[in-house]
Structure 1
């Protein structure tokens, strides 16, 4: 049996070009599992006689959960923004996206380490650096995917022009710089590193001006 028509494409040096809809659906599923696993790190206090104090003491877990959940949410939203502009995906896009998903699946562990370090009062620098590096790798992979499809223009949708492609590229490069800055600061002063990375959240929920030709008319 042949593949569905929408998954048929021409052969290139990077393999067959395919409709990216299944890639996006699989990515959505992995991201959904990752954000769900985050809450498993928050464990109820064992001493119910002082439950209020025990719940309050879990503030590092709440913080790690909220920051990581919202950051993964941004990954999900910007993943859709990016793939809305990708008409077909070749093997390189499939590979880079797979590595991106592997990185995202690691984030619940990084969030757990971050929360544990702040609860115990030890290892905060290493924990913030681990958390930042994990998100930094996601930013690197976003830039790698977008850079690849921009170099191979045939992969892009016709709804985006050169100016729009540059606008998306600037947003992705800024993410890399922002997270790297927070990670470096976190190695010096952990609370500041977390704060810098957290300020990344409201900015990246803003729409990308110039994303499509319609935005510039």
Structure 2
């Protein structure tokens, strides 16, 4: 059964993502300090700032990608509703590993930091899997999209989701087995990648576009 009104799903998704961003900032606490040591304590909290920036970018890019996808969706069905809820479920988990990563690295607990980045990477994999399910469903049901959307648009979007699955898995393994800071670098890079490609691979210009399969229509 199709629902011709996508606005409720979009409004609910916006509300959930706004709450997630609010929860992220709650992890920024003024450090306990003796008089004259505030600057030192603030600098010591650098892992908290890096984790916050990486996670804020993560949620911001989820919002951008969500907006770009739903600009192309004409009607909803039950499968798309559940795929959208899965994206929100996995994204809403983000404040939890963010707090773990920032605390473990700031306290210099090597084993805890490895576990924390592995959990963060796992949440990234879950989110990428949720996006993969959403794009797969839209690719199998082109009748849910507007007529002007390219036939291969959502099929190509699955490639972006697979990139996330591979890189978050690799980052989690490297961070857990070698060095957590390497995983943090990947966590900061991936939102940038998804931000640049938020309107889809078919919207990229330049040499890369020549290697992409062509479909009828355009990306909207």
> Please, what TM-score do these two structures have when normalized by structure 1?
0.85
Decide which of 31, 34, 41 is 2:27's aligned counterpart: 41
Q: Does residue 193 of the first structure (1) align with residue 176 of the second (2)?
A: no
Find out whether 1:213 has 2:202 as its counterpart. Answer: no
Q: 1:93 aligns with which of 68, 80, 86?
A: 80
- Secondary structure of the residue that 2:20 maps to in structure 1? helix
Cα distance in 2 for residues equivalent to 1:152 and 1:142: 15
Structure 1: how far apart are the matches of 2:174 and 2:87? 24
1:169 offset after TM fit, Å?
A: 2.4
3-state SS of 2:134 partner:
helix
Instruction: Find out whether 1:179 has 2:168 as its counterpart.
Output: yes
Alignment of 1:39-78 (within 5 A): 39-49=25-35, 50-78=37-65
Is this contact kept in 2: 1:160–1:213, CA < 8 A?
A: yes
Gap runs ≥5 in structure 1: 1-10
1:25 maps to 2:2 = no
Residues 135-160 of structure 1: CA deviation (Å, up to 9, x unaligned): 21111001101101211221122121
Distance 2:72 2:9 in 1: 14
8 Å Cα contact 2:74/2:146 also seen in 1: yes
1:163 to 1:151, Cα distance in 2 relative to 1, 3 A: closer
TM-score (norm 2): 0.84
* Change in CA separation of 1:140 and 1:89 when aligned onto 2, cut-off 3 Å: same
Name the CA distance, whole Å, in 2 between partners of 1:32 and 1:90.
24
Shift of 1:215: 6.1
For residues 10 and 139 of structure 2, the distance between their equivalents in structure 1, rounded to whole angstroms, comes to 19
> Unpaired runs of 5+ in structure 2?
204-215
- Say which structure, 1 or 2, has more relative contact order (CA 8 Å, 6+ apart): 2
CA distance in 2 between counterparts of 1:100 and 1:92 reads 13
User: Aligned residues, how many?
Assistant: 202
CA distance in 2, matches of 1:156, 1:176: 25
Tell me the distance in 1 between the aligned counterparts of 2:218 and 2:80.
Answer: 26
Query: Which contiguous aligned blocks of 4+ residues in structure 1 show a shift greater than 3 angstroms?
Result: 211-216
Bigger drift between 138-147 and 85-94 goes to: 85-94
CA displacement, residues 24-45 of structure 1 (integer Å, 9 cap, x when unaligned)? 1111111011112111111101
